[in-house]
Amino acid sequence: ATIMVLNGPNLNLLGQREPAQYGYETLADVESMCREAAQALGHEVDFRQSNHEGVLIDAIHEAGRGVKEGSVLGVVFNPGAYTHTSIALHDAIKGAEVPVIEVHISNVHARESFRHHSYISPCAAGIVVGMGVHGYVMGIQGLVHKFGR
Ligand code: DQA
């Protein structure tokens, strides 16, 4: 099946943006890692990034329709800063009934207190935090382990 790997705002800048926090790998590097990890488990990746909340909401809805049709397994989602602000993304995940693994490259709990709360975690099937970009691979593996068929 297809695993959607969805990236929120500013993740297009990965590799240049605060490398002490997020490392030197680019989003293109993350995409190749994800494709490889999914392929090894017999799945495919639909890799996306948007800086726009509504585009992310539409992608979640699309993934939900795919889950119902049996073509999509779920979403590995790094919502970026929308993690800490977006009730709309929380509602989208609930409404679309799509399994979501929430991924954060950095350990958000060791950072500013405004990063400690997530609107996504209560509706996530699993969470990977602070494992660097390898967290995406772990998210894919976790999604397949929990929901793979
Ligand atoms: C992030 C953590 C968020 O707090 C931040 O706003 C990001 C990236 C991470 O992957 O560590 O944009 O989701």
Going from N- to C-terminal start, the domains of the chain cover 2-147
Q: CA-to-CA distance for 125 and 2, rounded, in angstroms?
A: 17
pLDDT in tens, 36-86: 999 999 999 999 999 999 999 999 999 999 999 999 999 999 999 999 999
Pick the CATH number of 2-147 from 3.30.420.110, 3.40.50.720, 3.20.20.120, 3.40.50.9100: 3.40.50.9100
CA of 67 to the centre of ligand 1 (A): 26
Q: Is the CB of 106 under 6 A from ligand 1?
A: yes
SS3 41: coil
Q: Which atom, in ligand 1's list, is nearest to the CA of 22?
A: 11
pTM, rounded to two decimals: 0.98
Predicted-assembly ipTM surpassing the 0.95 threshold: yes
Find, among 42, 47, 51, 106, the residue nearest to 77 by Cα. 47
Look at ligand 1, atom 9, and give the residue with the nearest C-alpha: 104
pLDDT in tens, 94-126: 999 999 999 999 999 999 999 999 999 999 999
pLDDT at 149: 77
Helices 27-40 and 134-147, axial angle in degrees (round to 10): 30
Q: CA-to-CA distance for 2 and 5, rounded, in angstroms?
A: 9
Q: Which of 43, 82, 104, 119 is catalytic?
A: 104
Mean pLDDT value of segment 2-15: 98
